[in-house]
Structure 1
């Protein structure tokens, strides 16, 4: 008998994260129950249809799978999250009850890592500005000169899945990578092509990229004092979570004009219209979009379903979340669109 899967993402989100191949899998390998309401279920709506289901597929905006829902579901085999962190989506008790948990987090990491590299190169070689200047009749003044990434020191804050992918993308440029993460050893850092360093040492690099999860222990991890260590002409990048950085301290340091920044995440999202960051021309602001590409999103649900099938066949999985991984995961941050 085919496993019964409850697919929670509604239209139009479903079209973004479920490819044609994904639909084929759902039709051929599962008995799919779809959300036809056009909006995300409430917890009560989910409670009314989770009974007798083997697998629940969630994504952005889906209600959390609470202990109550797990009890109603009975013999739930797996929960697959076609998005990132499952910290606020699945309770820790799910692992203790033998439920398999899957997430597209590691696939998203590749997408965010590309964003990080693109962000840095956008500051170093500002092609949009060049285009604007040429259209205004300007031609190669001294100020047009860009900078090169090669030979830079790059401070990586936390060895997250995104950070590991970012390090791979940086390797061909011949940069020196300083990695701060209290949970890795010098040998582990070396195996990644990095040097283990202190947080202060990482902050003194020409490029500083933050990848720490949002946890109680990482709240305001990057303090205003640490931000003062960023060198003149440096670049600060945050694609992780706004709560990890002292936003007030960062704003104050950017107002000095000493360095540039690229920010994809903020303490409050969307960024308030009257926020002083909006007035600074040395910061590039993006709308928490680092993980959003056409190709990436089309992969999410398909990869999760394929991994669940591997698990059922007793094969190695690639997107499964263990209890230890759950412990280390950050919270997904401000609510996103559905």
Structure 2
């Protein structure tokens, strides 16, 4: 990773761990292409991968690391571990390396906690109509008799996709005593009971006061939140999408939001970045953020340590920690 990216995802304790347990070779300026700054760290030059990987047991990667071609393992003596201090590894590695016994680790589950907090914050912000009240004050107003906020406590919350971000949100929702229903064809009744939720059809899940989307980017999830499904969401409901823009009929959701029928928080779009008309940008029942649900200072600094600790346990005795990428679930992983 670049020096600036390392400063973003490697905290002081992890640097000490690296110094204590490994002989570390960091990427340097000569391995980069593009400007290297905290605002936009430079990416590694793909041509530098072979040099940096030579003789390595562990590759510590992050955003800005080029795709690791399977040729790095072609001689049967490639790195034993890829520890990715970022989210999905689907654009980083060829799944064939998993079949060679390479341990791959992703910090996605750690990022999921940050996303869960974002979803909870968005739900509360819109339920209490805070942007509307904020707009009223800025316009010189005061009390607003035309609308009143709602509580999250005891409400029905529909969750589409039982991903790691969904599980983080479920944990955060526990103090609110919500009726949490989850649609996920891969979620067993036993696992749902462990999570303290109940399973439901996609249609029933959408009929909730709060609806949050937590699905991976797959052909099966493209457009799954259809215009018809959006029309069935109850009036005044809050919809949050922090997963993938293509999963939702964005135009339909915007139409129902601009009409005043729904409240929505969007962190992902189709395409990205989005281009919106002035009416969308002025809507006080629409919360727009630039794909930052998983982006927090504390969360980022924890990423390298999160995957490296699991990698060390795996190297020691084969323990599969929470960041281990299971080859058996590759096809449905985010």
TM-score (norm 1): 0.89
Q: Among residues 7, 13, 35, which one is paired with 2:27 in the alignment? A: 35
The aligned counterpart of 2:328 is: 324
Secondary structure class of the residue paired with 2:239:
strand
- State yes or no: 1:212 paired with 2:212: no
Q: Secondary structure at the match of 2:24?
A: strand
Shift, 1:228, TM fit: 0.8
Q: Residues 305, 282 of structure 1: CA spacing in aligned structure 2 closer, same or farther, 3 A cutoff?
A: same
Counterpart position of 1:23: 15
How many angstroms apart in 1 are the aligned matches of 2:289 and 2:137?
25
Per-residue CA shift, 1:122-174, capped at 9, x if unaligned?
11234565456456654434247321111211110011011111111112111
Shift of 1:42: 2.5
Structure 1 residue matching 2:287: 3-state secondary structure: strand
1:64 CA drift (Å): 1.2
Do 1:50 and 1:72's aligned partners in 2 also have CA atoms closer than 8 Å? no
Q: 1:193/1:251 Cα in 2 relative to 1: closer, same or farther (>3 Å)?
A: same
User: In the alignment, which residue of structure 2 is the partner of 1:151?
Assistant: 154
Partners of 2:221 and 2:280 in 1: CA distance = 22
Q: Within the alignment, does 1:44 sit opposite 2:36 as a pair?
A: no
CA distance in 2, matches of 1:196, 1:188: 10
Q: Which structure 1 residue ranges, 5 or more long, are not aligned?
A: 1-8, 331-338
Q: CA RMSD in A?
A: 2.0
The residue correspondences of 1:92-111 to structure 2 (distance < 5 A) are: 92-111=95-114
User: Which of 63, 66, 70 lines up with 1:67 in the alignment?
Assistant: 70
- Residue 33 of structure 2 is matched in structure 1 by none
Q: Once the two structures are superposed, what CA deviation does each residue of 1:84-121 show, in whole Å capped at 9, x if it has no partner? A: 11112121111111100001111111111011000011
Asked if the contact 1:50/1:73 (under 8 Å) is kept, the reply is: no
Q: Shift of the alpha carbon at 1:315? A: 5.8
Within 1, Cα distance between the matches of 2:242 and 2:218? 15
Q: Residues 179-220 of structure 1: CA distance to partner in whole angstroms, max 9, x if unpaired?
A: 101112333323322121000011111111000111111111
Change (3 A) 1:267 1:137: closer
- Structure 2: stretches of 5+ with no match in the other structure: 30-35, 37-41
Q: Distance in 1 between matches of 2:176 and 2:281?
A: 31
Task: Check the 8 A contact 1:51/1:73 in 2, yes or no.
Answer: no
Provide the rounded CA distance (Å) in 2 between the counterparts of 1:143 and 1:35.
58
